[in-house]
Amino acid sequence: MGSAGSKPDHLSSAAALPSPQLLEELAKFFRLLSETARLLLLCHLKQGPMDVASLIEATGFSQSHISRQLGQLQRAGLVRCQREGVRLIYTADDPLVHDLCALVQTQLKQRLEHQLLQLQTA
């Protein structure tokens, strides 16, 4: 805690702020996850490895759309690809995305439940 009359510790040091480069990387990561199609693909891949044909069937997206989104996820290191014969099998086993999505879902659920409670008591 900061001393009397000073800023709290979490605000007192500019050194604690992320660098502009880190902020840019964070922004890129969150932009990547801001696309509904990519989130849906990650959700499917969290359930187990899938090829593009299975992802087309599961999502209804076109092959080109899925390939484009998977390419972005792969470049970001969130999805891996392995060749099995003529098929490419995609997996998403990075716990970061799962943990982050679970955290956000929990927070959103709590916020919506609180808003619902306020509406019911109004």
Cβ burial of 6 (10 Å; 0-12, 13-18, 19+) is: exposed
Tell me the domain boundaries of the chain.
Answer: 21-93
Nearest to 35 by CA among 72, 62, 63: 72
One-letter amino acid for residue 83 of the chain: R
Q: What is the pLDDT of residue 15?
A: 66
3-state DSSP call for residue 3?
Answer: coil
User: Among 1-10, 22-31, 67-76, 103-112, whose mean pLDDT is lowest?
Assistant: 1-10
Nearest to 101 by CA among 24, 46, 52, 23: 46
Q: What is the pLDDT of residue 70?
A: 96
Q: What CATH number was assigned to the domain covering residues 21-93?
A: 1.10.10.10
Over 60: is that where the pLDDT of 58 sits? yes
Q: Per-residue confidence at 41, pLDDT binned at 50, 70, 90?
A: very high
Bigger pLDDT: 5 vs 108 = 108
Q: What is the pLDDT of residue 16?
A: 84
